[in-house]
């Protein structure tokens, strides 16, 4: 039961954070998405998340080809391609998590950093995704001056 709960929660967090990124991007124009004075742009963070999820879950857990190209994650692309790519990548990862047998959580799998337990791979991806989503949220708030209203305030 613990393994099933972990997998369900992990898939839920990836979907929740993807929704937050959707909200942020919907409030910004192309120049706000691709330009950043203080580090990586929001667009680059989205591309980076897609590369990370595809490599760590798609390749390490799902057996998909490792097609990651980190240089492309830090180049400028099309705003119109960002969200479809994010949704496709996260959708594939969530489908893999939803069908992963919980007894595989203690299997060792290859990663870019050497062999890791499946549980470690998932934990790394979800944590990494949340960290960069936080950066995207912060940047969107700074650029728009808005409270993005992700959580309802208690009365």
Structure confidence by residue, pLDDT tens digits, 80-106:
899 999 999 999 999 999 999 999 999
- How do residues 102-137 score in pLDDT, each as one tens digit? 999 999 999 989 999 999 999 999 999 999 999 999
Residue of 141 and 64 predicted with greater confidence: 141
Structure tokens that stand for 8 in this block: 């369900």
Domain boundaries, the chain: 2-144
- Of 33-37, 71-75, 125-129, which has the strongest mean pLDDT? 125-129
How far apart are alpha carbons 122 and 62 in whole angstroms? 12
CATH: 1.20.120.450, 3.40.50.300, 3.30.700.30, 3.20.20.80. Which one for 2-144?
1.20.120.450
Which residues are CB-contacts of 37 (< 8 A; sequence separation ≥ 6)?
A: none
Annotate 37-86 with DSSP letters as a single string. SSSS-HHHHHHHHHHHHIIIIIITTT-------HHHHTS---HHHHHHHH
Nearest Cα neighbor of 45 from 82, 92, 90 is 82
What percent of the chain clears pLDDT 90, i.e. is strictly above it? 75
Residue of 150 and 91 predicted with greater confidence: 91
């Amino acid at each position: 039961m613990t393994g099933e709960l972990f997998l369900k929660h992990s898939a839920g967090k990836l979907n929740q954070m993807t929704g937050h990124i959707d909200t942020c991007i919907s409030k910004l124009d192309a120049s706000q998405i691709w330009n950043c004075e203080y580090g990586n742009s929001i667009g680059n963070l989205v591309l980076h998340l897609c590369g990370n999820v595809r490599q760590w879950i798609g390749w390490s857990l799902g057996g998909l080809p490792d097609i990651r190209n980190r240089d492309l994650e830090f180049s400028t692309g099309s705003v119109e391609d960002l969200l479809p790519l994010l949704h496709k990548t996260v959708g594939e990862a969530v489908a893999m998590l939803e069908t992963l047998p919980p007894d595989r959580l203690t299997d060792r799998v290859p990663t870019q950093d050497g062999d890791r337990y499946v549980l470690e791979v998932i934990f790394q991806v979800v944590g990494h995704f949340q960290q960069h989503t936080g950066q995207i949220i912060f940047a969107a708030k700074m650029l728009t001056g808005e409270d993005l209203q992700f959580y309802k305030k208690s009365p």
